[in-house]
Structure 1
Amino acid sequence: MELNLQDIPRVKTITKQDFLKYYFKPQKPVVIEHFIEHWPAYTRWNLDYMKAVAGDKMVPLYDDRPVDYKDGFNEPHAKMKMSEYVDLLKREPTKFRIFLWNILKEVPKLQNDFSYPDFGLRLMKGLPMLFFGGKDSHTFMHYDIDLANIFHFHFEGKKKVILFDQKQNNYLYKIPHSLITREDIDFNNPDFEKWPMLKKAKGFKTELNHGEVLYMPEGYWHYMRYITPGFSMSLRAIARNPKNFSKAVYNLLIMRNYDNAMRRLKGQKWIDWKNEQAIVKTHEKNGLIL
């Protein structure tokens, strides 16, 4: 048995009006295949180029180890020079990923390689973020703290993407006071005996190739797996739906601080309790008693 996933619709290119009408307003994902071919980044951006322009920069690295109470919010697991990291990616599979790397701050000249597309949404100019990964490395299933509209531009190689909207929360074993599902769920090959409610979740899937753009609507859960070494850039626009916007404010001002306080207070017991509650709450909401 597999997850209930439909293919994300694909278009060659799109006008602002059609994007707003068919994807933004109904909050549906889409892959735009030929939208950035005029960008210098389309021909320049690959791992060798990143090594050439940013090789001496120290980059934060993350792997797929479970959350530990001692870890700060988004605290990296390791650091190395970009040149060493690119060599590692090309040499062998590695779990290490770069996550939320602000290219404007680190390598200002990279700004010249792309322009901010006009999708009819106001993009946050200070926050273009890069994400890198090696073959078979993956992110946990999560959604972003600000529930933003995300435009995800992929470079070099292939990347598998699975998305769920917020209506699927009751089936995903969401961790309370958090933005992730249970970290021991393998969304690439889920165990439905262990996680039976996943059978009810309805989502989307695609594989991104070099130069393609994925639109992820507000608050969409996303799981990314690198089929080959590669990297992506995300541009984001603030959540427009009032409910999502208020959730974003709550997450940033209250939820994150509460979770950090409880980690300091209760340590690993807090993490263990949250993991247990993810199962209890999911099964309760679905009338399943195990």
Structure 2
Amino acid sequence: MKLQLQDIPRVKNITQEDFIKHYYKPQKPVVLEQFIEDWPAVSKWNLDYIKTIAGDKTVPLYDDRPVDYKDGFNEPHAKMNLGDYVDLLKKEPTRYRIFLWNILKEVPQLQKDFSYPKLGLKFLKGLPMLFFGGEDSYTFMHYDIDLANIFHFHFEGKKEIILFNQDQSKYLYKVPHSLITREDIDFSNPDFNQWPALQYAKGFKTQLNHGEVLYMPEGYWHYMKYVTPGFSMSLRTIAKRPKNLSKALYNIFIMRHFDNLMRRLRGQRWIDWKNDQAIVKTNGYIKNL
């Protein structure tokens, strides 16, 4: 048995009108294969170039260890010079990833290598973020705290991606008061005996190559696995749908602070309770189908 995943549509290029009509308004994902061919980044950006231009920068690193009550919100597990990290990526598989690294702040000159897509959307220009990963490293299934529309630009190598709309949350073992599913689910090869609700989830899949762009609609769940060492950049626009915008505001101003408070008050018992509730609520839902 496999997850019910359909291939994300792919187009070579797209006009603003077609993007708005066929993907943005209906909130459907799409891969743009040759949309940024005029960017200097397409010919320049690879691991060696990033090492040359920013190798002395200290970067936050994350791995796939389970959430611990001592961890703060998005707190890194380690730090390393970017040059040493690139050497590690090229030497051997590693679980360490760079997550949400703001290139505008850290390496302003990289901004000269890309431009903001003219697709009729207003991008948050202070938040271009880079993500790096080694062979077989992956992110847990999650959605972004602000439920933004995300444009994900991939560079060097290949990356596998699985997406689910928010309406599939009831099948995904979502952990309450958080933005993730159960971390012990392997979405690249799930155990349906252990996680039976996943058989009902309907999502999307694709593999991104160098220079390709994935549009992820507001609040989409995403799981990303690096087939080879590589990196990506995300640009985002604010959620426009009232339901998603209100949920984003709740996440930012209430949910994350409540979760941090409960970690301090209850410690690991809070994390364990949330993980248990993910199973109780999800399996309870499918029993009523």
TM-score w.r.t. length of structure 1: 0.99
In 2, the alpha carbon distance for the partners of 1:140 and 1:237 equals 22
In structure 1, distance between residues paired with 2:31 and 2:114 = 18
Map of 1:192-231 to 2, 5 A cutoff?
A: 192-231=192-231
Aligned to 1:191: 191
- Structure 1: 5+ residue stretches without partners: none
Counterpart secondary structure, 2:191: coil
**Structure 2 equivalent of residue 31 of structure 1:** 31
What code does the residue aligned with 1:182 have? Answer: R
Which residues of 2 match residues 18-57 of structure 1 at below 5 A?
Answer: 18-57=18-57
How far did residue 185 of structure 1 move? Answer: 0.1
Give the structure 2 partner of residue 260 of structure 1.
Answer: 260
Q: CA deviation at 1:36?
A: 0.6
1:124-160 superposed Cα distances (whole Å, 9 cap, x missing partner): 0000000000000000000000000000000000000
Counterpart of 1:140, as a letter, is F
Moved over 2 A (4+): none
The CA distance in 1 between the partners of 2:288 and 2:22, in whole Å, is 37
Task: Find the counterpart in structure 2 of residue 144 from structure 1.
Answer: 144
Partner of 2:242 in structure 1? 242
The residue aligned with 1:286 is 286
Give the equivalent residue in structure 2 for 1:273. 273
Distance 1:119 1:187 in 2: 32
What is the CA deviation profile of residues 171-200 of structure 1, one whole-angstrom value per residue up to 9, with x for unaligned ones? 000000000000000001000000000000
Aligned residues: 289
RMSD between aligned alpha carbons? 0.9
Report Cα offsets for 1:64-85 as digits up to 9, x if no partner: 0000000000000000000100
What TM-score comes out, normalization by structure 2 length?
0.99
Deviations 1:74-132 (A, max 9, x none): 00000000010000000000000000000000001001000111111100000000000
Distance 1:272 1:288 in 2: 25
Q: Which amino acid aligns with 1:161?
A: I
2:170 matched to which residue of 1? Answer: 170
**Matched position secondary structure for 2:31:** strand
- Cα shift at 1:235: 0.1
Match of 2:161 in 1: 161
Q: Secondary structure at the match of 2:287?
A: coil
Q: Counterpart amino acid of 2:24?
A: F
Structure 2: state its 5+ residue gaps.
Answer: none
Structure 2 partner of 1:3: 3
CA distance in 1, matches of 2:92, 2:2: 29
Q: Alignment partner of 1:211: what SS?
A: coil
Q: State the AA in 2 paired with 1:79.
A: K
CA–CA distance in structure 2, aligned partners of residues 236 and 69 of structure 1: 29
Q: Distance in 2 between matches of 1:283 and 1:192?
A: 12
Deviation at 1:288, TM superposition (A): 6.5
Identical positions, percent: 76
What is the SS of the residue equivalent to 2:86? helix
Q: Take 2:160 and 2:205, find their aligned partners in 1: how far apart are those partners?
A: 8
- Return the alpha-carbon distance in structure 2 between the equivalents of residues 241 and 67 of structure 1: 30
CA–CA distance in structure 2, aligned partners of residues 38 and 104 of structure 1: 20
Distance (whole Å) between structure 1 residues aligned to residue 81 and residue 237 of structure 2: 30
Aligned twin of 1:96: 96
Q: Distance in 1 between matches of 2:76 and 2:257?
A: 19
Residue type matched to 1:172 in 2?
Answer: L
SS in 1 for 2:13: coil
For residues 29 and 117 of structure 1, what CA distance do their matches in structure 2 show?
16
